[in-house]
Amino acid sequence: MPTEIIYTIEDRAGRTATTSVKLPSVEPKTRVNTFNAAFANALDDLIGGVIRSAMAVLQIDISAITGNLEDPDSDVEDVGAFEFLTATGNRVKLNLPAVDELFVDNSSGNLDQTDAQIAAIITMMEDGIAVTGGTIQPCDIGEDSIVGTLFARERFRNSGKRSIN
């Protein structure tokens, strides 16, 4: 799947619209930035609105993931609600759709943090994931690193979007 750069443009009435351009998925970040500089300038000269943002969207190949099947009881409104704390005290939420009921303590509604799958999520969020050349540590929108977990519990919320029927 190509990498897509999505531009958001604002008009005189304050309304926004998007347009996009696609590049080969093999292009690295530095070259996408080079392309963006040229394309954003060409677009800017063509239009009367102002470009408010540019976002590169990479599609990730997940075909190698194991155990990735729909369970007959799955419901995305049955959520595993995680809340984490950043180094400066900001709260960060992670909502896992269709959390497996096996992880839920029915007396409290808390997720069992000693269970391997739940523990793996918490470890990922607190300690990051090792990648080639470093570790990527989850953070909040201002890039403040997550350092701890406040809670992990089951929650029901009307969050699903029906895609068929």
Partner 1 sequence: MALATTVNFVFRDQKGKTSITKIRVPSTFSFAQYAEFAESAAQILASASQAQLVETSVSVALDLTGLGLKTTIALFADIYQKALFTVRTAVSGLFSKFNFPTLDDGMVLPNSDVLDTTEAAVAAMQTIIEDGVADGTTISVVDSRGNDLTEVSQMRELFRKS
* Site residues (CB under 8 A) for partner 1, limited to 20-49: 21-25, 27-29, 31-49
Please tell me whether residue 50 binds partner 1 under the rule CB under 8 A: yes
Number of residues forming the site for partner 1 (CB under 8 A):
105
Please tell me whether residue 109 binds partner 1 under the rule CB under 8 A: no
Between 102 and 107, name the residue whose CB sits nearer to partner 1.
102
Rg (CA), the chain: 20
Cα–Cα distance measured from residue 93 to residue 50, given in angstroms and rounded to the nearest whole number: 32
Shortest Å, Cβ 31 to partner 1: 5
Please report the sign of the dihedral spanned by the C-alpha atoms of residue 93, residue 98, residue 103, residue 106: positive
CB 54 within 8 A of CB 5: yes
Of the candidates 79, 82, 71, the residue with the CA atom closest to the CA atom of residue 157: 79
Shortest Å, Cβ 10 to partner 1: 6
Please tell me whether residue 104 binds partner 1 under the rule CB under 8 A: no
- Centre a 10 Å sphere on the Cβ of residue 149 and count the other Cβ atoms it contains: 17
Residues from 113 through 132 that contact partner 1 (CB under 8 A): 117-118, 120-121, 124-125, 129, 131-132
Please tell me whether residue 58 binds partner 1 under the rule CB under 8 A: yes
Question: Judged by CB under 8 A, which of 106, 107, 114, 165 binds partner 1?
Answer: 165
Question: Judged by CB under 8 A, which of 83, 85, 90, 100 binds partner 1?
Answer: 100
Question: Judged by CB under 8 A, which of 106, 107, 114, 163 binds partner 1?
Answer: 163
Q: Which residues does 62 contact at the CB level (< 8 Å), separation at least 6?
A: 68
Give the largest Cα separation in the chain, rounded: 62
Shortest Å, Cβ 119 to partner 1: 10
Q: Which residues does 130 contact at the CB level (< 8 Å), separation at least 6?
A: none
Please tell me whether residue 150 binds partner 1 under the rule CB under 8 A: no
